Amino acid sequence: MRLHDLVRRYAWELSTTGVSDNSLRVCTDSGGSPALSAYGPRLAAVDLPPDNGVRLYRRYAPLPRASVVYAAETIPDPAARLDRILDPEFDVRNIAVTETAVSLSLTPTVPATTAQILSYDNNRVAIKATAEADGLLVLADQYFAGWEATVDGEPVPVKRVNHFMRAVPLTAGTHEVVFTFAPRSLQLGAVLSLLGLLLAITVPGAALLSSRRR
C-alpha cells in the first residue's frame, strides 16, 4: 500500500446557528462519508489586533477526549444512527450510540466520568479509567479496522460507537485500557517480509551446500 493511498481529504463546516452545547457536528471526507467529529460547537470570537487577517474563536463546553458513559442506544442502521447523534436533543455527553448491542440501560444511572489519557502515540493509546458502574470507555478517535484493545492486559473487542468513534466495555472499578493499531495488512506484510528474508538466506546456502557435495 502506497502512502498516498492512505491520505484522505476532509471538508469542514462550522456553524453556530441553532445549536446547543451538546450538539455534534460532523466533518465528511471527499466521498461525503462522515469521518471526524467536533463537540460543543458553541463559539465566541476572541479579540485580536485589527487588520491581521486572522480570526480566532474560543470553543465552549467541549466533551472530554476520553470518558466512561453508563447508557447506550443500539442502532444498527448507519443512517438512523447518524441522525440520532446529530439530534440536538440527544444527550451525547452521557449516552453512547452503538452499532451492536451492549448490556447497558437506555438512560444513564450516573453522569459520564472523565478518563485520563496516560500516553498517546499514532499506534498506541493508554488510558486510565475509573468506572462507577458497568459502562463504555469512549475514546473520541476515529474507529478503524485494525485497532485492538486490552483492559488490564486482557484482550477485549473494540466497538464502534457514535458512528465513528471507538470504545471498549468496562466493569465497575479502575482499569488500564490500551488501544493498539495492528492491522492485518501490516501483520501479513511483516510475515511475508520474514519469509522473503528466510528464503534469501536459505536458498543461496542450500545451493552452496549442494555444490560442495558435488
Convert the pLDDT of each residue in 50-64 to its tens digit: 766 777 777 666 678
Convert the pLDDT of each residue in 175-201 to its tens digit: 999 999 987 654 445 445 555 556 566
Convert the pLDDT of each residue in 88-146 to its tens digit: 788 888 999 999 999 999 999 899 999 999 999 989 999 999 999 999 999 999 898 89
Provide mean pLDDT across the span 7-14. Answer: 51
Provide mean pLDDT across the span 158-167. Answer: 92
CB–CB of 61/21 below 8 Å? yes
Amino acid 190: pLDDT? 46
Domain extent at residue 132: 3-191
Q: Is 112 a member of any domain?
A: yes
Buried b / exposed e along 26-65 (16+ C-beta atoms within 10 A): beeeeeeebbbbbbbbeeeeeeeeeeeeeeeeeeeeebbb
Q: Is 132 a member of any domain?
A: yes
Q: Is 138 a member of any domain?
A: yes
Q: Is 74 a member of any domain?
A: yes
Average model confidence (pLDDT) across the chain: 77
Amino acid 4: pLDDT? 47
Residues, the chain: 214
pTM score, whole prediction: 0.66
Q: Is 13 a member of any domain?
A: yes
Number of domains in the chain: 1
Query: Rounded CA gap, 129 and 172, in Å?
Result: 10
Q: Is 174 a member of any domain?
A: yes
Provide mean pLDDT across the span 85-90. Answer: 83
Q: Is 200 a member of any domain?
A: no
| DSSP 8-state class, residue 51 | T
Q: Is 214 a member of any domain?
A: no
